[in-house]
Amino acid sequence: MESLNETPAVAIPFDNLPPPEQLPPPEELTPAKPSRWAGIGSAVRELIETLVLTVVIFLLIRFAVQNFRIEGFSMEPNFHDGQFILVNKIEYMLKMPERGDVVVLIPPTSANRDFIKRIIALPGDQVQVTDGKVYINGALLDEPYPLNPGSYSTGVMTIAPEEYYVLGDNRNNSSDSHAWGTVSVKKIVGKVWATYWPPQMIGFVPDYSYASK
């Protein structure tokens, strides 16, 4: 019977093991050196992301607020030729215009121009001007803001739904509803919110709460 030669097991004393610092070090991985083109690509990507973010922020601000330069004297003595204003374009997405609001609008007489006027009569109102005095539903409108009164008269007009009657504050020198009728709410660009030039005019446009008497 064939027998197998067995190699006797040899026990190595623990004290005879080499210390860890004498063991061969593991193979070190040398990190790849970044190329110059990779650095340039990263910088270009960051620049593009910054530009895109800037454009998005600009468009969002432009959607909400727009600046205009006043040309003419129809809103004297409250707004002046050459004055710069900021218009809130989202306010009327949340609520309807109110009497006394100063708005920028596109008049029915011209699709390529923007006018600045004050809302005088609301949908459903009856409005009439007699010797420059404004009557709403038969009662004299007490206008609390500075005003250059008009001298003209108009017949009684009932304001249709989603239409508004607007006048300039410089009544005898304003192309407005007394001349061309009402303006649709869809043609109101937004509410005049603030003025930012010239410096002495910087500030928010006041809101007036008043009712006809």
Q: What pLDDT, on a 0 to 100 scale, did the predictor assign at position 111?
A: 87
Please give the residue range of the domain that contains residue 117.
66-204
Q: How many domains does the chain have?
A: 1
pLDDT tens digits for the chain (213 residues)?
434 344 444 444 545 555 555 545 555 555 556 566 767 777 788 888 787 777 766 666 666 899 999 999 999 999 999 999 999 999 999 999 999 999 999 999 988 899 999 999 999 999 999 999 999 999 999 999 999 999 999 999 999 999 999 999 999 999 999 999 999 999 999 999 999 999 999 999 999 866 544
38 is a domain residue: no
183 is a domain residue: yes
Q: What pLDDT, on a 0 to 100 scale, did the predictor assign at position 42?
A: 78
CB 85 within 8 A of CB 79: yes
Question: Which region holds residue 131: left if phi is over 0, alpha if psi is between -120 and 50, else beta?
Answer: left
200 is a domain residue: yes
Q: Distance between CA atoms of 114 and 202, rounded to whole angstroms? A: 22
43 is a domain residue: no
Q: What CATH number does residue 99 fall under? A: 2.10.109.10
25 is a domain residue: no
Q: What pLDDT, on a 0 to 100 scale, did the predictor assign at position 109?
A: 92
Which residues are identified as catalytic?
Answer: 74, 117
According to DSSP, the residues that pair with 121 across neighbouring strands are 165
| Residue 20 phi, psi (nearest 5) | -55, -35
